[in-house]
Structure 1
Amino acid sequence: MAHMVFLEGGPDELPERVVPAGNPGEDVKIPHRGGYEHFRRTQRRQDTAEGTLPVYEWWERTEIAE
């Protein structure tokens, strides 16, 4: 079952900052502009309209192979 997380960092133009994630603690991978933005869990939490959510911080981008 997916749970919601708050994304911090990465490209400013990401369409959403509150997104569903898979298993708690697993990295989140967001498709964006021909690649993926990768986010890792932190120990922090963020108050949002969806409630207080775990913060996932951007750590890398990978390109989609053609």
Structure 2
Amino acid sequence: MFQIGVVLVGGPSYLSTDQRIQRVTTIAETLKLPVGGGYEHFTHQGETTEVDGVDFPVFRWFMHTAIAE
């Protein structure tokens, strides 16, 4: 399946640079990134950013949820 590279913006400051580049199959859905005991949620709002001469969709952080037991 085709994957799209995206850049994550906002959220916890402890996310590494490597974690801020993700691959998704669609930009129309929320990205749930598992981190520690929860999930950081990111969504695309139409913004892009250039990385090494290539435009990437930007996914902005909008909330954190805990993993249900």
Instruction: Identify the TM-score tier after normalising by the shorter chain.
Output: 0.7 to 0.9
Work out the CA distance in 1 between the residues paired with 2:15 and 2:66. Answer: 16
**Cα distance, 1:36–1:65 mapped onto 2, change above 3 Å:** same
Instruction: Specify which of 35, 49, 56 is matched with residue 59 of structure 2.
Output: 56
Superposition TM-score, scaled by structure 2 size? 0.84
- For 1:20, the equivalent position in structure 2 comes to 23
- Structure 1 segments of 4 or more deviating over 3 A? none
**Cα RMSD between the aligned structures?**
1.4
Q: Does 1:41 align with 2:40?
A: no
More helix by share: 2
SS of aligned partner of 2:56: strand
- Calculate the TM-score normalised by the size of structure 1: 0.87
How far apart in 1 are the matches of 2:8 and 2:40? 10
Unpaired segments ≥5 residues, structure 2: none
**CA deviation string 1:13-59 (max 9, x = no partner):** 11311101122321111000110000010221111138210111000
Aligned residue-pair number: 66
